Structure 1
Amino acid sequence: MQKQLIECVPNISEGRDAKKIQEIAHVVETVAGVKLLDIDPGAATNRTVITFVGEPEPVIEAAFLLIKKASELIDMRGHSGEHPRFGATDVCPLVPIANISLEETAQYAHRLGERVGKELGIPGYFYEAAAKEPKRKNLSNCREGEYEGLSTKLADPNWKPDFGPAEFNANVAKTGATAIASRDFLIAYNVNLNSTSTRRANAIAFDIRERGRVKREGNPITGKKVLDENGEPVLIPGKLKAVKGIGWYIEEYGIAQISYNLTNVSITPMHIAFDETCKAADRRGLRVTGSELVGLVPLKAMLDAADFYLTKQSRSLGISESEKIKIAVKSLGLDDLKPFDPKTRIIEYMLEEDASKKLVDLTVSGFAEETAAESMAPGGGSISAYVGTLGVALGTMVANLSAHKAGWDDKWEFYSKWAEKGQAYKDKLLFLVDEDTNSFNKIMDAFRLPKDNPQEVAARKAAIEAATQYATEIPFQVMETARNSMEVMQAMLKDGLQSSLSDSAVGILCAKTAVLGAYFNVRINAKDLKDREFADNILARAEAIYQEALAIENETIALVNEKM
């Protein structure tokens, strides 16, 4: 069964006392299986966003310990800050990350809330997907009145808490209330203005956010509110769906910001919120100087932003992931207020295993030294995959150069699509560099299994057969991917920059070498397989790919000789 992962993003009402913040945040690391990803304090908001991840049971245990520690160290009776809040742990959302649904995550939110209420005596509300009734889905409804209005709210039968005491006792006066949720991944995102005016920042927020602004008679700012038949204010919707926003002034930076919550980035991604804010600011005589992420961001959000701005510039999208991240950071101005380090701000990068264990993260000379060392891996299979990587990288280079050639602007999308295909082949082959070595190690592990009785002997034989099959499939994937990648170089030989003809041709030669090298590995591993039906099938398919690669190599040499 695949591992379930959820993220927890508690916001605590302390952003100035570093000792308290660290003590509260690091309590989650006392729970085995929980990884603390980020601590993001804000002095002006007097609020810190903490992010950690793990399997559900450890995460809710860590969340409980964090809420408990915050209730001990934070006294809401003396709290002030720019951000709306009503408790020491103001909100504690749980976010499904892998192999778990929003509904399942809501069940864990309910378990956490019940424990917080019973064991800590802290009242609170379930919101978003964990809400017990429709009006409580929206966090702003649950938190309306903030800490100062909490005594009145708890006494209102319509706002009886979902967990904890329905009274403003001495303990609650200190801890305030907590809102616990199950929700989709939310991006907390602030856009910076060249202004100090909260009123003007709010005006832009009202232009953009889904809720919009209250409709008024006459003057849109001071006029009488227009009410509907139920006596509720009529709203003029804003530009973007799934966006919440307010304006505020941040003293530590000396600027006004629009603070957004992007509640569904598949509806309104980060780059659209930024772009529309730039337009709204310009209409009001203001300028956006950059933006700021609070907490972590999914990799896809950054790559989508890069693609958006590359497309606006009529530039190829088939560039490396690292280059796309740089473009996203600069296009959104994420380094406007402080440096932006992708390794600590992008959630997938934070969850990566130690890069030093991967061959593809070695330097070129380091890879060569590792190959030359007194060990059997990396061997011919990994080297074949890497040679194939170099081949398609050359083809991708020619596609990107062609997309950028003066006078070919009308064809940039054609070349961009080929460059994107090249990047996909390159990424698959890079994965196979390490996976070929991993597959060899699986065979070694199988041979080390005990064989002291008939059951162990049978299990060992089965493990060796399974590992050998896998070690045959991996070089076959190298063959298949390298052969398919030749289409990029073939397209560039025909339609790409003719001054780079030799580069495309060398790419073909590298791809053919990868096919041939991997073919040898398929054959040497297949000969030891007991399942001859599997072995004969994969050998026949490998032979066909090998012959195709030889034919393409011969065609390429003939073409290059003709053109040169």
Structure 2
Amino acid sequence: MLRPVLACCKLYISESRNKAALVSIERAVKLLSGARIINKFEDETYNRVGYTLVSKLPPNFSSGDCSLKDVAFAMVKAALIAVNFNSHSGTHPRLGVVDHICFHPLGIASMEQTTYIARSLAREVGTKLEVPTFLYGAAHEEGRTLDSIRRGLGYFRPNTRGNIWVGGPNSQHLPLSPDEGPSHVDLSKGVVVIGSTRWVDNYNVPIFSTDFSAVRRIAKLVSERGGGLPSVQAMALAHGEGTIEVACNLLEPSKVGGDQVQIEVERLAKEEGMVAGKGYFTDFSEEKIINAFLDYKDSSIDH
């Protein structure tokens, strides 16, 4: 059987409590053809929703015809209309109404193809919607990383007490120059970060504690940055009363997967005198994403 030429777009929006807003965002997908929502992950504590879109790729990118880009743009536009960043709050860091978009090649698709889509979407978001847009991964000429942009824009620092992020940025002036769009930010919209990378898994492990300092130590020690597991990024996030999650990006899940992260977090938590719960993935695996698209029959999937 021939392997498919597919691309995946993971699109994260800073809203999950306003159901009317989500309906309007998802309606944008139904009005266009080609790309499908394969997974939807909502978290009301984080006040964040992640959509996984998949489509076949066109044979000729130079025509500018790409349903995945068109659907992603429509969702971004709908989100900016439906959600006011100044009114948003949650325990997950974010930079804008549409916080993060990443494209991944699937099947026999190439990184060059998803890079083209990412850059094309960034141009449209920046110019047509007038939102400062930053590129990372293969979409950036120098391969800038997602976490370096986030650190430069203050993503990891809560802007209020209680480890909660509330409202938009404090200033219209950005500490970094965007790759597309205006150099100043509309406080009701924030900024968008768009990238193209190989597949990334997201795996979160709950720790039953209120000791943020200790869980931050665990997150640092489990991450490559802190000398822990290679290709793992991690941060500590409040997730309900009495629980803090070690939220991990697995940049090379075929080498270091959720099982290894689970074991290491449990070990580190035990050393701190804490108990770690069973972790969970926020999306399907790459293989399941492909199979779900190929087996897709209905016009919508609810999770």
Aligned residue for 1:211, secondary structure, equals helix
Give the alignment partner of residue 182 of structure 2, picking from 150, 161, 165: 165
The residue that corresponds to 2:289 in the other structure is 347
Distance 1:254 1:284, change over 3 A: closer
CA contact (8 A) 2:208 2:242 kept: no
TM-score (norm 1): 0.46
Deviation at residue 145 of structure 1 after TM alignment: 2.1
Kindly indicate whether structure 1 or structure 2 has the higher relative contact order, using CA contacts under 8 Å at least 6 residues apart: 2
Deviation at residue 298 of structure 1 after TM alignment: 3.1
Deviation at residue 297 of structure 1 after TM alignment: 2.2
Aligned residue for 1:289, secondary structure, equals coil
Distance 1:47 1:150, change over 3 A: farther
**2: CA distance, partners of 1:247 / 1:110:** 31
Give the alignment partner of residue 151 of structure 1, picking from 166, 172, 187: 172
Say yes or no: does 1:123 pair with 2:132: yes
Deviation at residue 267 of structure 1 after TM alignment: 2.9
| Larger proportion of helix | 1
**2: CA distance, partners of 1:179 / 1:353:** 31
1:212-257 CA distances to partner (integer Å, 9 max, x unpaired)?
1xxxxxxxxxxxxxxxxxxxxxxxxx21111111112211x64111
**2: CA distance, partners of 1:293 / 1:26:** 26
Q: Within 5 Å, give how 1:358-373 maps onto structure 2.
A: none
**1: CA distance, partners of 2:195 / 2:69:** 12
**1: CA distance, partners of 2:260 / 2:50:** 24
State the one-letter code of the partner of 1:193. Answer: I
CA contact (8 A) 2:223 2:230 kept: yes
Q: Within 5 Å, give how 1:161-560 maps onto structure 2.
A: 161-168=178-185, 172-212=186-226, 238-251=227-240, 254-299=242-287, 346-353=288-295
Number of equivalent positions = 275
Distance 1:352 1:107, change over 3 A: closer
Say yes or no: does 1:49 pair with 2:50: yes
State the one-letter code of the partner of 1:29. Answer: K
**1: CA distance, partners of 2:89 / 2:29:** 26
Q: Within 5 Å, give how 1:33-112 maps onto structure 2.
A: 33-56=34-57, 57-112=66-121
Deviation at residue 2 of structure 1 after TM alignment: 6.3
1:364-420 CA distances to partner (integer Å, 9 max, x unpaired)?
xxxxxxxxxxxxxxxxxxxxxxxxxxxxxxxxxxxxxxxxxxxxxxxxxxxxxxxxx
CA contact (8 A) 1:68 1:120 kept: yes
1:171-229 CA distances to partner (integer Å, 9 max, x unpaired)?
x22211100110111111110122233222211101111111xxxxxxxxxxxxxxxxx
**2: CA distance, partners of 1:63 / 1:119:** 14
The residue that corresponds to 1:27 in the other structure is 28
1:336-381 CA distances to partner (integer Å, 9 max, x unpaired)?
xxxxxxxxxx4245234279xxxxxxxxxxxxxxxxxxxxxxxxxx
Aligned residue for 2:17, secondary structure, equals coil
Q: Which has the larger radius of gyration?
A: 1
The residue that corresponds to 1:14 in the other structure is 15
**2: CA distance, partners of 1:295 / 1:16:** 19
Say yes or no: does 1:137 pair with 2:148: no
CA contact (8 A) 1:116 1:164 kept: yes
State the one-letter code of the partner of 1:7. Answer: C
| Larger proportion of strand | 2
**1: CA distance, partners of 2:171 / 2:145:** 18
Aligned residue for 2:115, secondary structure, equals helix
**2: CA distance, partners of 1:53 / 1:73:** 23
Structure 1 stretch 197-206 or stretch 25-34: which is displaced more?
Answer: 25-34
The residue that corresponds to 1:332 in the other structure is none
State the one-letter code of the partner of 2:276. Answer: V
Aligned residue for 1:118, secondary structure, equals helix
**2: CA distance, partners of 1:25 / 1:241:** 36
Cα RMSD, aligned residues only:
2.1
**1: CA distance, partners of 2:147 / 2:118:** 15
**1: CA distance, partners of 2:283 / 2:229:** 22
Aligned residue for 1:188, secondary structure, equals strand
CA contact (8 A) 2:38 2:52 kept: yes
CA contact (8 A) 2:131 2:182 kept: yes
**2: CA distance, partners of 1:122 / 1:162:** 11
1:469-495 CA distances to partner (integer Å, 9 max, x unpaired)?
xxxxxxxxxxxxxxxxxxxxxxxxxxx
Deviation at residue 104 of structure 1 after TM alignment: 2.3
CA contact (8 A) 2:136 2:146 kept: yes
CA contact (8 A) 1:190 1:292 kept: yes
**2: CA distance, partners of 1:280 / 1:14:** 32
